[in-house]
Amino acid sequence: WKNNDTNSSSYTYRIQIDGPDHSDNKTSNTIYVSIMYLKPGTLYKFKIYAQLNGSTEGDPNGINVYTSNPVYDIEFVNVTTTTLEIKWKDNDTNASNYTYQIYISGTNYFENKTSNTPYMHVDGLEPGTLYKFEIYAEIDGNKGDPKDTSVYTKPSPVYDIKAEKITNTSLDLTWKNNDTNASNYTYRIHIDGPSSFNDFSKLTYVPISNLEPGRFYKFKIFAQINGSETEGDPNETTVYTRPSPVFNIIVEDVSTTMVNILWESPDAARSTYSYRILINGSSDTISPTTSSEISDLNPGTNYQFSIYSIAADNKTEGTPKDRIHCTDPASVDRFDCNLVEKKPQLSLDWSIPNGSYEGFRIEILNNQNKILERENQTIVTDLDYFTTYTITIVTLSCKKTSIPREKKCRTSITDPPPLTVSPVVKATSHNSFSVQFNSFNSSHGPIKAYAVIITTSEGTVSNEVLKYTYNDFWNKETSTYVAYIKTEEKRSSSTKNQDYVVEIGDESTTYGYFNGKLDPLGSYRACVAAFTRITFVNETIVNAEKSYVSFSHLSPLVGLPQNPAVITGGVVGSILVLLVIVAIVGFIFWKKKRYKNNFIMQSKLLKVENYESYFKKQKADSNCGFAEEYEDLRPVGANQPKFAADLSDNKGKNRYNNVLPYDISRVKLSIQNHPTDDYINANYMPGYNSKKEFIAAQGPLPNTVQDFWRMIWEKKIYTVVMLTKCVEQGRTKCEEYWPNKQSKNYGDLMVAMTSEIFLPEWTIRDFSIQQSDSPESHPVRQFHFTAWPDHGVPETTDLLISFRHLVHEFMKQKPQSSPTLVHCSAGVGRTGTFIAIDRLIQQMEMENTVDVYGTVYDLRMHRSLMVQTEDQYVFLNHCVMDIIKSKKEKKMDLIYQNTDAMAIYENFTPSSPYIGRANGYHV
């Protein structure tokens, strides 16, 4: 209290306390007193008396006061960014009568609020701001002691959260907060992913690292003030990290238009990925796995494949990994090879391949290579004449090559190289002389024929003389004429480079040339013309313009002696008679020696291991031993009856008068209208497995084609082997008895060709036969060998053995009761050779023995003239020798070099050598 008296410093004061539970007096020497032990919430009356000297007391002044305790347990609840609720406690007895004064102060903020309860809701605050609260209990205008406290409002949630610079393991987060006090905030970033952790930032930005690639993350951002004591409500965003780039990309070529791409991903989350493959920056494809097959590409073209890993949200992509790959170039579809007439060259042209290409490489086996940029044709030069070349072409692109296309192509023939040696001429009588010459070089093509030209002139011979005949010479129209034409058959290797001797003046006729007698005492020269191609005008005179020919030098003059007939006719006649007698006696003696007791040897069976020495012995002296064997075989079977063939109705069914079927083994057809309807020029022939394994027949005539097909139908023949061309050297050897594109009726049989495949040495045709009154259909396959000359032998043994193997493999698939029909022109020479080869090969395989002589003997007992020429007999022995050698030297591909191409035929797969064979000779 106060007192302004002058002498107040000498005063004492009595304080009278009057309350419901307490009355007392207190004394104080000052203007202050502390009164204790009052009861809270109670009205007390205080009267203060000033005293002087302990006895004089002034009038009192007083005050009424309610006692009260400060509030306690102040609590803030439901604190938000702009509001809060404050609660407190007050245990005074009279507290229910209190009012409370709340003083609120903050930054640029002050407000006084009153509450009748220990609770108050406060709003209008600033987010993230510190507020101080002072609370007074008041009753009847009397305030108790204050209680103060402070609190921060929550910061506002952040907004506009952005994830930027996202990589596979890191990203940057930015956000915004517009609170007034935001500059004082700290931010807690809670990262929730494969693992959870917190990060903190004083800024509205934070870089996050050490994340896992391709994973889903949730980021919650809390604004904090007052350290971490006051934290606002979070805002959040979700993000996928980018997948890592793929690695180990492998591109495999599936075809020229398709690749298979494989790759790997290093990420733990790769099982949730899909992948996008971008092709050349434009078209793309999606793959759920780490591989993809890409199709519809262009061959020979560079492609950039960019592979993106895509996270599980199907939109977050990683950094692409690129791989540049060139598809395989496409092969050319068409590759043609043609000879260049009379030049050692080949003309090649081919189709432009699909896709891109830089050029082509032509390879000629064992010869040369040639690179071409973008041309699709070329001429290959510097080759040899009449040589078969294996030529391959590959497409080039991106330093890659296509699958090669291959052709076998033979260069042209041309005029033979001239013979530099003159023929040797020698007078043999007064009106004839012999011309001896050696075979021409066949490097420009095989020699097809020789012409011997006679002249009484000097100088050189030209193509012009080929049109002149002996009659022209006799009529003095020319001094030079063609006396003789010798056609040259293909020969075995043993007969190459031989000498020829031609008798001039023997009055023989070849084609349109007569070899007439010469004048006694005449002087003549000879010249030899060799032909690699010879054509005739009306099969008589050589067509010089269309023939390829070269000439030898003229021989020296040969002079003929005078005719001695007038002087020595009688003497010569006597001598000739004597010589004839001597010859007859000698022949009889020789025959008796060779055929003891009129017995002809039927077999010469040899062990395979002994055959080589036997072969060398028989081959010596120009095949002398084989020639003797062949002579022994001439009469075999010849005396057997051929009555059916000699019937007048059947004579017109025979192609050759000297090749007629024996009655004992002839094939009999069904009789239809006439008793002779059963006749056809064909015989059953024994094979290795049965007596009727083959039928040997002549090539059909126009009037026997129906009978030929009737034989195939009635005898249930599935396999036909044809060993001749229809026309050879201008002569018809066999009627073309089969239909081409459209089916054809042969009597009551309808025949249709179902396939035809051409190869260089043979052709395969399939036919279907159906009888008009039957639904039954019968298939037939024809194997047509086109590389065998009439009366001759093929160029090499392996070619025919390969062909026989092809036929034999097909025969094995058919019923054993079905005979194989073999024919050439006459049905004896080439036909007999083929059947003999089949028998001999099986004999070597199964018995380890070989009997060429006995095989031919047996065949001739069933059909006349089988293995018609000595050359064919020698050729048979060469085949046997080559097979034995190939086994011995293990050249297993000798015989099968042409069979790979045959895999294209249905029901045919070449057998592996030596499988299931007794001795392995089926090489």
Q: Is the pLDDT of residue 300 over 50?
A: yes
Question: Does some domain include residue 823?
Answer: yes
Beta strands in 158-215 (DSSP E): 159-164, 171-176, 186-192, 196-201, 205-208
What is the signed CA dihedral for 268, 271, 272, 276, rounded to 10 degrees?
A: 100
Domain CATH for 704: 3.90.190.10
Residues 6+ apart with CB under 8 A from 568: none
Separation of alpha carbons 441 and 421, rounded Å: 12
Calculate the average pLDDT of the chain: 88
Tokens 């007074």 locate to: 136
Q: Are residues 316 and 388 in the same domain?
A: no
Q: Taking CA 321 as the corner, what is the angle to CA 317 and CA 325, rounded to the nearest 5 degrees?
A: 135
Separation of alpha carbons 810 and 779, rounded Å: 13
Phi, psi of 695 (to 5 degrees): -120, 125
On the 0-12 / 13-18 / 19+ scale of CB atoms within 10 A, 357 is buried
What do you get for the CA distance between the two ends of the chain, in Å? 145
Separation of alpha carbons 132 and 880, rounded Å: 125
Residue 480: name the closest of 434, 542, 525, 419 by CA.
525
The tokens describing 50, both together, are 């000033």
Instruction: Taking residues 520-528, report their average pLDDT.
Output: 93
Amino acid code (one letter) for 476: K
Q: What is the residue range of 494's domain?
A: 424-563
Q: Known catalytic residues?
A: 824
Domain CATH for 360: 2.60.40.10
Rounded alpha-carbon distances, angstroms, from residue 90 to 66, 136, 145, 616, 739: 15, 11, 12, 142, 127
Q: Is the pLDDT of residue 633 over 80?
A: yes
Helix (H, G, I), strand (E, B) or coil at 233: coil
Q: Are residues 257 and 237 in the same domain?
A: no
Structural domain total, the chain: 7
Assess contact for 183 and 202: CB atoms under 8 A.
Answer: no
Question: Does some domain include residue 395?
Answer: yes
Assess contact for 169 and 207: CB atoms under 8 A.
Answer: no
Residues 6+ apart with CB under 8 A from 369: 361, 362, 363
Question: Does some domain include residue 581?
Answer: no
755 has which bridge partners? 766
The tokens describing 350, both together, are 């081919």
Q: Is the pLDDT of residue 920 over 50?
A: no
Question: Does some domain include residue 482?
Answer: yes
Instruction: Taking residues 679-696, report their average pLDDT.
Output: 96
Residue range 812-829, pLDDT digits in tens = 999 989 999 999 999 999
Q: Are residues 58 and 128 in the same domain?
A: no
In this prediction, residue 583 carries a pLDDT of 53
Element spanning 33, H or E? none
Residue 516: name the closest of 432, 437, 577 by CA.
432
In this prediction, residue 918 carries a pLDDT of 32
In this structure, the strands spanning 548-551 and 302-310 are: unpaired
Q: Are residues 479 and 521 in the same domain?
A: yes
| Domain final residue, candidates 241, 264, 295 | 241
Assess contact for 139 and 154: CB atoms under 8 A.
Answer: no
| Domain final residue, candidates 563, 595, 622 | 563
In this prediction, residue 695 carries a pLDDT of 98
813: left (phi over 0), alpha (psi -120 to 50) or beta: alpha
Question: Does some domain include residue 542?
Answer: yes
In this prediction, residue 64 carries a pLDDT of 84
Residue 338 CB coordination number (10 Å): 12
In this prediction, residue 873 carries a pLDDT of 95
Beta strands in 72-166 (DSSP E): 72-77, 84-89, 99-106, 109-115, 119-122, 130-139, 142-143, 147-152, 159-164
On the 0-12 / 13-18 / 19+ scale of CB atoms within 10 A, 296 is exposed
Tokens 């994340």 locate to: 211
Separation of alpha carbons 504 and 514, rounded Å: 10
Q: Is the pLDDT of residue 901 over 80?
A: no
Query: How much of the chain is helix, strand and coil, in % rounded to 5?
Result: 20, 35, 45
Give the CA count within 13 Å in the CB-facing half-sphere of 679.
Answer: 21
Q: Is the pLDDT of residue 898 over 70?
A: no
Residue 376: name the closest of 334, 417, 413, 418 by CA.
334
Residue range 719-745, pLDDT digits in tens = 999 999 999 888 999 999 999 889 999
Separation of alpha carbons 231 and 185, rounded Å: 9
| Domain final residue, candidates 410, 435, 454 | 410
110 has which bridge partners? 105
In this prediction, residue 763 carries a pLDDT of 96
Instruction: Taking residues 650-679, report their average pLDDT.
Output: 93
Residue range 160-202, pLDDT digits in tens = 999 999 999 999 999 999 999 999 999 999 999 999 999 999 9
Separation of alpha carbons 542 and 148, rounded Å: 142
In this prediction, residue 107 carries a pLDDT of 86
Question: Does some domain include residue 615?
Answer: no
Residue range 255-293, pLDDT digits in tens = 999 999 999 999 999 999 999 999 998 888 999 999 999
Separation of alpha carbons 726 and 718, rounded Å: 21
In this prediction, residue 908 carries a pLDDT of 41
Tokens 């050759």 locate to: 656
Q: Is the pLDDT of residue 307 over 90?
A: yes
Q: Are residues 441 and 380 in the same domain?
A: no
Rounded alpha-carbon distances, angstroms, from residue 471 to 173, 478, 482, 526, 888: 118, 9, 10, 17, 59
Question: Does some domain include residue 418?
Answer: no
On the 0-12 / 13-18 / 19+ scale of CB atoms within 10 A, 592 is exposed
Residues 6+ apart with CB under 8 A from 579: none
In this prediction, residue 792 carries a pLDDT of 66
| Percent over 70 (pLDDT), the chain | 91
Separation of alpha carbons 838 and 719, rounded Å: 14
Q: Are residues 136 and 168 in the same domain?
A: no
Instruction: Taking residues 21-42, report their average pLDDT.
Output: 85
In this prediction, residue 584 carries a pLDDT of 53
The tokens describing 84, both together, are 């809060």
Q: Is the pLDDT of residue 426 over 80?
A: yes
Q: Is the pLDDT of residue 366 over 90?
A: no
In this prediction, residue 374 carries a pLDDT of 76
Amino acid code (one letter) for 669: L
Which parts of 378-522 fold into alpha helices (H)?
A: 470-474
Separation of alpha carbons 310 and 315, rounded Å: 6
In this structure, the strands spanning 480-487 and 424-429 are: unpaired
Residue range 836-877, pLDDT digits in tens = 999 999 999 999 999 999 999 999 999 999 999 999 999 999
* Range with the poorest average pLDDT among 22-26, 727-731, 772-776, 878-882: 772-776
Q: Are residues 321 and 451 in the same domain?
A: no
Question: Does some domain include residue 920?
Answer: no
Of residues 565 and 897, more confidently modeled: 565
Q: Are residues 709 and 727 in the same domain?
A: yes
In this prediction, residue 565 carries a pLDDT of 57
| Percent over 90 (pLDDT), the chain | 68
Residues 6+ apart with CB under 8 A from 475: none
Q: Are residues 55 and 120 in the same domain?
A: no
Tally the residues of the chain: 923
In this prediction, residue 599 carries a pLDDT of 47
* Range with the poorest average pLDDT among 294-308, 550-564, 862-876: 550-564
Residue 237: name the closest of 156, 173, 170 by CA.
173
Separation of alpha carbons 99 and 41, rounded Å: 12
DSSP per-residue string spanning 350-419: EPPPSS---EEEEEETTTEEEEESS-SEEEE-S--TT-EEEEEEEEEETTEEPPPEEEEEEPPP-SPPPP
Confidence of residue 919 (pLDDT cuts 50, 70, 90): very low
Residue range 743-757, pLDDT digits in tens = 999 999 999 999 999
Q: Are residues 697 and 779 in the same domain?
A: yes
Rounded alpha-carbon distances, angstroms, from residue 462 to 407, 414, 453, 466, 467: 38, 16, 11, 8, 11
Q: Are residues 346 and 313 in the same domain?
A: no
Of residues 427 and 54, more confidently modeled: 427
Separation of alpha carbons 545 and 464, rounded Å: 9
432 has which bridge partners? 429
Separation of alpha carbons 532 and 448, rounded Å: 5
In this prediction, residue 20 carries a pLDDT of 83
Residue range 464-517, pLDDT digits in tens = 999 999 999 999 899 999 999 988 765 433 345 668 899 999 999 998 999 999
Q: Are residues 139 and 230 in the same domain?
A: no
